[in-house]
C-alpha cells in the first residue's frame, strides 16, 4: 500500500501588538526617517504588521500556533513523532527552536530540528516532513514556520524596516492512504547570497559584521517573479496537473506585486490568490502557514481544494508544494 501525507489541522498566532503603517511612520519620523502609509501601500500592499514583545521568542509564537493546529486536527501533543520548525530567527544559536518548542509542548523523544531556508522555509520543511512520512520515518508531524523578524530590522532603512512582521503558523501532517501532498519542487542558488542577507555572526562573545537585514529590493523582485513561476510549473508537471487544477494560490506574502504577477503567469484570477500581506507584512517562513490558517478558518479554503504553496527567500532559495487539502 502506498503511503502518503495529508494536512489534518492548521493553526497560527500573531503577537498582540499590531503596528499600522501610520504607527510605524510616526515612530520612524521621530528618528528622522521619513515614510508614509501611502508610500508603503503603493510599493508593497502592506497596511499593518505585528511585532512581538521583547521577551517573546520564535518558539513562543510557534508553540501557540502548534497548539491551535493540534486542536484543529483533534490530536494531542503526545501523538506527534516529528517536529520541524522553519525559522531564520531562532531563540538562540543552539539548541534548535524545534527542541525548545518541543519542551514547551510538554513532549519528549520525537525527532525535532530546524530548517533554515528563510522565506522558503515552510515549503522546504513541509517537503522534508512529507518525505519522512512517506518512507515510514514518522506518522504525525508538526510543521511550523515561526519568526521574530523585528529583531533583525534596521529601523533607519525605510526600504526594509516597513516590510517585515512577526508571527507563526503551523500544520499537523499525518500519514494517509489517500494523497494529500501531491508534488514539490525545491531549489537554491548561492550566488545570490548578497541580495538578501543578514551578514553578521557571533565570535568570542561579540557580533562580527552587521546583524541587521540587508536587501536589494529590485534584484529580489526580478529573481522572485521568474523562479516562482518555474517552480509552480515544475510541481504541476510532477503531479500531472495543470494551472486549471489550482483552486488557491498561497504564495509567500512578501509583496503584492510579486504575488499578483505570479498569479497572472499561472493564468489564475485574482480571486484565487490568497492575500494576507496587507495585515501581516512579510513574516518570512511563517507567512505561508499564517495565510493558510487564516483562509481555512474563514471558510475560504475547504476540504478537497487543491492548493499551490510557493516561497522564495534569501539564499537564494525557492520552491513550491501542490496539495489536496
Residue 97 carries which DSSP code?
H
Are the CB atoms for 138 and 132 separated by under 8 Å? yes
The reply to whether 252 belongs to the active site is: yes
- Choosing from 197, 252, 255, 280, the catalytic residue is 252
- Choosing from 110, 161, 197, 282, the catalytic residue is 282
**What is the three-class DSSP state of 127?**
helix
The reply to whether 192 belongs to the active site is: no
> How many Å apart are CA 214 and CA 243, to the nearest integer?
35
**Cα separation values, 262 from 39, 168, 192, 243, 294, Å:** 23, 24, 21, 12, 21
CB contact set of 148 (below 8 Å; sequence gap of 6+):
52, 56, 57, 58, 61, 89, 166
Nearest 5°: the CA angle 36, 39, 45 is 115
> How many Å apart are CA 167 and CA 285, to the nearest integer?
9
CB contact set of 274 (below 8 Å; sequence gap of 6+):
248, 249, 250, 251, 291, 292, 294, 295, 300, 301
> How many Å apart are CA 170 and CA 287, to the nearest integer?
10
* Cell output for 165: 512582521
**Residue in the structure block whose three cell numbers are 520612524:** 28
- Choosing from 119, 161, 192, 197, the catalytic residue is 119
Nearest 5°: the CA angle 51, 278, 184 is 95
> How many Å apart are CA 221 and CA 200, to the nearest integer?
24
Are the CB atoms for 152 and 200 separated by under 8 Å? no
The reply to whether 119 belongs to the active site is: yes
Give the residue numbers annotated as catalytic, written as ranges. 119, 252, 282
Amino acid at each position: 500500500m502506498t503511503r502518503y501525507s495529508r494536512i489534518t489541522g492548521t493553526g497560527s498566532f500573531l503577537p498582540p501588538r499590531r503596528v499600522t503603517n501610520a504607527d510605524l511612520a510616526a515612530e520612524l519620523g521621530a528618528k528622522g526617517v521619513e515614510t508614509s502609509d501611502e508610500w508603503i501601500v503603493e510599493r508593497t500592499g502592506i497596511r499593518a504588521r505585528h511585532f512581538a514583545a521583547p521577551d517573546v521568542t520564535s518558539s513562543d509564537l510557534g508553540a501557540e500556533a502548534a497548539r491551535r493546529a493540534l486542536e484543529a486536527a483533534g490530536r494531542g501533543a503526545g501523538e506527534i513523532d516529528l517536529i520541524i520548525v522553519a525559522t531564520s530567527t531562532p531563540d538562540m544559536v543552539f539548541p534548535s527552536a524545534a527542541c525548545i518548542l518541543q519542551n514547551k509542548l510538554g513532549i519528549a523523544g520525537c525527532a525535532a530540528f530546524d530548517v533554515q531556508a528563510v522565506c522558503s522555509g515552510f515549503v522546504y520543511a513541509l517537503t522534508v516532513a512529507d518525505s519522512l512520512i512517506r518512507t515510514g520515518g514518522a506518522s504525525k508531524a508538526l510543521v511550523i514556520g515561526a519568526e521574530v523578524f523585528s529583531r533583525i530590522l534596521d529601523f533607519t532603512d525605510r526600504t526594509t524596516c516597513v516590510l517585515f512582521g512577526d508571527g507563526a503558523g503551523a500544520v499537523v501532517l499525518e500519514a494517509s492512504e489517500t494523497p494529500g501532498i501531491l508534488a514539490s519542487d525545491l531549489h537554491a542558488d548561492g550566488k545570490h547570497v548578497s541580495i538578501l542577507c543578514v551578514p553578521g555572526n557571533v565570535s568570542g562573545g561579540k557580533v562580527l559584521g552587521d546583524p541587521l537585514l540587508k536587501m536589494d529590493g529590485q534584484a529580489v523582485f526580478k529573481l522572485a517573479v521568474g523562479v516562482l513561476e518555474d517552480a509552480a510549473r515544475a510541481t504541476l508537471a510532477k503531479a500531472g496537473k495543470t494551472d486549471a487544477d489550482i483552486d488557491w494560490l498561497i504564495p509567500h506574502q512578501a509583496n503584492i506585486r510579486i504575488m499578483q504577477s505570479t498569479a497572472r503567469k499561472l493564468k489564475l484570477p485574482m480571486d484565487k490568490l490568497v492575500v494576507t500581506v496587507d495585515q501581516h507584512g512579510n513574516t518570512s517562513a511563517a507567512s505561508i502557514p499564517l495565510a493558510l490558517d487564516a483562509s481555512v478558518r474563514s471558510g475560504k479554503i475547504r476540504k478537497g481544494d487543491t492548493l499551490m504553496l510557493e516561497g522564495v527567500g534569501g539564499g537564494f532559495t525557492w520552491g513550491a508544494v501542490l496539495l489536496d487539502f
